[in-house]
Amino acid sequence: MSHSRLSIDQINALDRDHFVQHLGFLFEGSPWIAAQAWETRPFASVSGLYAALCSVMYAASREQQLALICAHPDLAGKAAIAGELTPDSRREQASAGLDRLSPDEFARFTRLNSAYRERFGFPFVICVREHTKESILAAFARRLEHQRDAEIVTALDEIAKIAKLRLDPLLQD
C-alpha cells in the first residue's frame, strides 16, 4: 500500500476510518492501536501522535500485547519464503539482508526462531532496519536468556521502533 504524506493538521482532521486507513499498518496486523489513538486527537505534533500510538500499545491488556507480538512474522521464516509478508515487513527484512541468506544462515535463523518460539510462545521481534544479519543473530542469543516478562517488554519496545520508522515517511514537517 502506498501511503501519502500528510501534515499533523491533516491527520487531526481525518475521521476514524481514514485515520485507521492511513496509520493502521504501523503496528503489524493491529489497526486497533490506531483506532484507539484516534480518540486522543488532536495531536500537537508528530511526536505527540507517536506517543499516543505507543501509549495505546503499552496500556493494552497483556492478551492484546501478545496478539500484537504474534502478528509479526518470523525473521526469514515461512511467510517470507511463501511471499506472504506485508510489503512493509518484506522491505524491512530485505534491508537487513534476510532475503539473501545462505543455506547455513537460513538454517541458523530457523533454529533460533524455533527455540525462541518454544521458550516464549511468540515470535522474535526486532527492528531489523537498525540491524545487520549478524547483530540480529547476536540479539537472538542474548534475548533467549531473558525471562518471559522482560522479553515481552523488549518485543514491545522493538515494535515501537518499527512503528516510528514506518510513521516518519508519512508525515510532512
The residues carrying an active-site annotation are: 72
- Report the distance separating Cα 60 and Cα 65, nearest Å: 6
Nearest partner of 98 among 146, 68, 135, 144, judged by Cα = 135
- The DSSP result for 47-112, as a single string, is HHHHHHHHHHHHHS-HHHHHHHHHTSPPTT-HHHHTT-S-HHHHHHHHHTTTTS--HHHHHHHHHH
